[in-house]
Structure 1
Amino acid sequence: MRVKPSWTLFAAASGLAAAPAAANAAELSVSVEIPRLSVAEYHRPYVALWIENADQAAMKTLAVWYDVKLKNNEGNTWLKDMRQWWRKAGRTATMPADGVSGPTKAPGKHQVTFSGAQLAGLAPGQYALVVEASREVGGREVVRVPFAWPPKAPARPAQAAGATELGAVVVTAKP
């Protein structure tokens, strides 16, 4: 009896199956600083993190930090105050979303990491991580940080900083 070699066996033996596995091993680490503001009435900001392509089209919402515990989902009402995210991705999103929604964050540095599996739909290319913050009785600010996906080699972290509602935003793509 003669056994025909299967395509998967050939791909595994030749290393062709390693490419998707390498992309899944990659990760995108993001550090977002929410500054401590000295104001009379302070409210934690709503914050959205998403990825845009070179045409500034939203490719994937990574995180939305808002008041998820208000009764009757009232926190959803104020998501539209993050205007750019809302226009590009938010109005079609169903919130809360598992793995995306989270509570507002206190002032300080907040680190989140996204695996290659979470970013599997991104084609190789240049992107921007966009962070938008909006605060009740406060302002609104957007910060964009460019990065390449998937990362081919360890690279320096890319960063940008806001002026009021956001501090430093640092993006590190690791192969």
Structure 2
Amino acid sequence: MKCSRLLLLALVCATTPGMAAELSVKVEIPQLPVAEYHRPYIAMWLEKNDTAQVTQLAVWYDQKKRDNGGTKWLKDLRQWWRKGGREMEVPLDAVTSATRTPGIHTLTYSTGKAPIDKLVAGDYTLLVEAAREGGGREVVRLPVAWPPKEARTASGKGLEELGNVTVQLKP
């Protein structure tokens, strides 16, 4: 009797799809050949295509400036600022962190965990915006369907402030 219950439980687990979907964002910050290099401020967020719903994923800014001076430059991330950045209280756990050095940086989010724990099913656009003191600003946009029914990858590339940006979705 116990053996048949275990066999039935194993069969149910094997045929039930996993509930933990995953969203990974890989961002390349290029090293620019300039006399005085400043690390870029970067914001990443998801916008639901059919509503104004915005889910903040990450905001990288200079958190070590005296008297929280790094926050004064956040408004230079203009599109992010208009899409909810101005209402955000920073630092925000699981979203804000320090600026990053040039190189490739990967952030991975899983269902059931902040900040994507409340994402409803639908079509989204992932936006990655960069702004740098003494430099330019740019935005890379990638399509995202949530939750993913199959593994998918979308990529884009910035012209100067951002290198390759890739989003990977796993069911």
Structures share fold, TM-score greater than 0.5: yes
Residues 1:138 and 2:135 aligned together:
yes
For residue 125 of structure 1, what is the aligned residue in structure 2?
122
Pick closer, same or farther for the CA change 1:95–1:65 going to 2, 3 Å: same
What pairs up with 1:14-93 in 2 under 5 angstroms? 22=19, 25-55=20-50, 57-93=52-88
Taking structure 2 as the reference length, the TM-score comes to 0.86
Give 1:158's aligned residue. 154
The code of the aligned residue for 1:147 comes to V
Change (3 A) 1:108 1:56: farther
Structure 1: segments with no counterpart, 5+ residues: 1-13
> Which runs of 5 or more structure 2 residues have no equivalent in the other structure?
1-11
Give 1:120 deviation, angstroms. 2.5
Partners of 2:120 and 2:37 in 1: CA distance: 40
Number of equivalent positions: 156
Seq. identity, %: 54
Distance 1:56 1:44 in 2: 33
* SS of structure 1 residue aligned to 2:140: strand
The alpha carbon displacement at 1:60 in A equals 0.7
Moved over 6 A (4+): none
User: 1:173, 1:109 → 2: CA distance?
Assistant: 18
Counterpart Cα distance in 2 of 1:121 and 1:143: 24
Q: Distance in 1 between matches of 2:51 and 2:43?
A: 15
- C-alpha separation between the residues in 2 aligned to 1:63 and 1:140? 17
Partner residue in 2 for 1:113: 108
Q: Which residue identity lines up with residue 89 of structure 2 in the other structure?
A: T
RMSD after superposition:
1.8
Cα distance, 1:142 vs structure 2: 0.4
Pairwise CA distance, 1:56:
7.1
Question: What amino acid maps onto 2:123 in structure 1?
Answer: Q
